């Protein structure tokens, strides 16, 4: 693994939280992610299945966790199945976990080879009433590829049709939304790596630099610090910043442009997600600064509203109403347009058309109840923006916020964001 080891007590705690929610005689099966093909015999780098990692810390392909808290045999109540290492695998794919190594990472006492799984599952199914199976139920998912979890579901339902099958995803959505102090520390580490990358960008930003050159600086800095890209970065200069999911990153950063950088490092699979907008020549124009400060005010006030008990819909609506007033002052909206504002058709939509933020953790868009309310332990992004294509201005600012009983904690507070601070750093 590239990242430093994580104490297995974190995963032991997660499994206890899950089993505490299960009714009697339940069986849980959670799979690793598939290796995804490219062309020919190529495959993409394996992305660890977030649910399996959250429960075990295991990042190896074809691994399976089985939980049966009421199994007759105590040794079968918690089992981890991994591929059996052999000389051929070692030669072609490299090191595979031994039973002792899998046990050390996960804290699962009983580790078995994957070949044992079918027989063990049959025995456990014979004494189980409910079978909890996993699926990707993320509200933004539109994947058409069938996962290992769903293939198992089809097989089990066909072979054992009289069992009661349940969805595991709602339980994990509830549990994973609340981060433990150990998880928050890992997110902080990802934010710190991202901060170093952005400061590296500031040290080389100048008219004539290419967007992909800035991306290269980020990749290098993340790699040096044992991190990876949590998602495809957006490096968008000038009017490119008005394309919300722009990631061609192949254009020149020109004198007078702003460059919007939406990037996050992944550390131990926990993600950061930050956005900063910088003047390419080192100085904001008066118009750029006015728009920037408007976005910054909405960001700061929205962070202050990220409090326990607040529902996401109300949180977003408050930002829209504030953004209406900022756009009015910038001359982008009229009083008549603001007067017609409704929750279904916010006046600001033409210039601020996306959401205010999302849950963050083992994924850039992590699992959480879709309307909240915010609960202490949630980590969320806050990311207002203003996009004016006709002026070639796109400004988004984004920080990662921890919800606590005492109020919001800005995990990105050390990352430069004030316009004077940014101009000072660029001047150096």
Active site members: 41, 245, 262, 273, 354, 358, 365, 383, 387, 396, 398
Q: Is the dihedral of CA 99, 102, 104, 109 positive or negative?
A: negative
Which residues are paired to 165 by β-bridges? 131
The structure tokens 């290269």 sit at 216
Distance CA 368, CA 176 (A): 7
Distance CA 377, CA 369 (A): 13
Q: Helix, strand, or coil here: 258?
A: strand
Q: Which of 195, 193, 70, 66 is nearest to 133 (CA)?
A: 66
Distance CA 135, CA 137 (A): 6
Strands 110-113 vs 78-82: parallel, antiparallel or unpaired: parallel
Distance CA 261, CA 79 (A): 43
Distance CA 189, CA 378 (A): 17
The structure tokens 């009015």 sit at 328
Distance CA 20, CA 10 (A): 16
Which residues are paired to 379 by β-bridges? 402
Q: How many CB atoms lie within 10 A of CB 202?
A: 19
On whether the CB atoms of residues 274 and 415 are closer than 8 A, the answer is yes
Structure tokens at 365: 């868009």
Distance CA 379, CA 360 (A): 5
Strands 270-271 vs 265-267: parallel, antiparallel or unpaired: antiparallel
Q: Helix, strand, or coil here: 391?
A: helix
Structure tokens at 363: 């994924």
Structure tokens at 356: 């205010």
Distance CA 383, CA 396 (A): 6
Distance CA 79, CA 64 (A): 8
């Amino acid at each position: 693994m590239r990242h430093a080891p994580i104490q297995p007590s974190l995963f032991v705690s997660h499994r206890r939280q899950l089993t505490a929610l299960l009714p009697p005689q339940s069986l849980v099966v959670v799979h690793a992610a598939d290796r995804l093909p490219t062309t020919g015999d190529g495959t993409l780098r394996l992305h660890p299945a977030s649910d399996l990692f959250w429960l075990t810390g295991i990042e190896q392909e074809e691994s399976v966790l089985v939980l049966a808290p009421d199994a007759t045999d105590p040794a079968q109540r918690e089992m981890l199945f991994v591929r059996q290492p052999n000389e051929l695998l070692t030669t072609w794919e490299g090191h595979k976990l031994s039973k002792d190594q899998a046990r050390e990472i996960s804290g699962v006492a009983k580790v078995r080879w994957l070949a044992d799984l079918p027989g063990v599952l049959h025995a456990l199914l014979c004494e189980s009433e409910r079978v909890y199976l996993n699926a990707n139920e993320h509200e933004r998912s539109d994947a058409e590829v069938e996962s290992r979890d769903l293939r198992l579901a089809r097989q089990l339902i066909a072979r054992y049709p009289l069992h009661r099958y349940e969805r595991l995803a709602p339980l994990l959505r509830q549990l994973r939304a609340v981060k433990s102090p150990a998880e928050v520390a890992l997110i902080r580490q990802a934010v710190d790596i991202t901060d170093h990358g952005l400061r590296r960008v500031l040290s080389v930003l100048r008219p004539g630099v290419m967007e992909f050159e800035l991306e290269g600086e980020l990749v290098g800095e993340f790699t040096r610090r044992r991190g990876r890209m949590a998602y495809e970065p957006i490096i968008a200069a000038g009017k490119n910043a008005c394309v919300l999911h722009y990631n061609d990153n192949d254009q020149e950063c020109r004198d007078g442009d702003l460059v919007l950088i939406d990037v996050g490092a992944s550390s131990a699979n926990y993600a950061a997600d930050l956005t900063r907008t910088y003047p390419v020549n080192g100085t904001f124009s008066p118009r750029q600064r006015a728009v920037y400060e408007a976005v910054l005010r909405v960001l700061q006030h929205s962070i202050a509203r990220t409090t326990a008990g607040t529902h996401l819909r109300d949180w977003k609506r408050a930002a829209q109403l504030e953004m209406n007033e900022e756009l009015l002052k910038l001359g982008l909206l009229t009083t008549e347009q603001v007067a017609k504002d409704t929750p279904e058709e916010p006046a600001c939509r033409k210039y601020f058309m996306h959401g205010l933020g999302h849950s963050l953790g083992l994924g850039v868009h992590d699992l959480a109840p879709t309307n909240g309310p915010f609960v202490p332990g949630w980590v969320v992004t806050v990311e207002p923006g203003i996009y004016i294509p006709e002026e070639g201005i796109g400004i988004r600012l984004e920080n990662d916020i921890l919800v606590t009983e005492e109020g919001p904690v800005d995990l990105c507070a050390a990352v430069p964001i004030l316009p004077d601070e940014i101009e000072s750093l660029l001047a150096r």
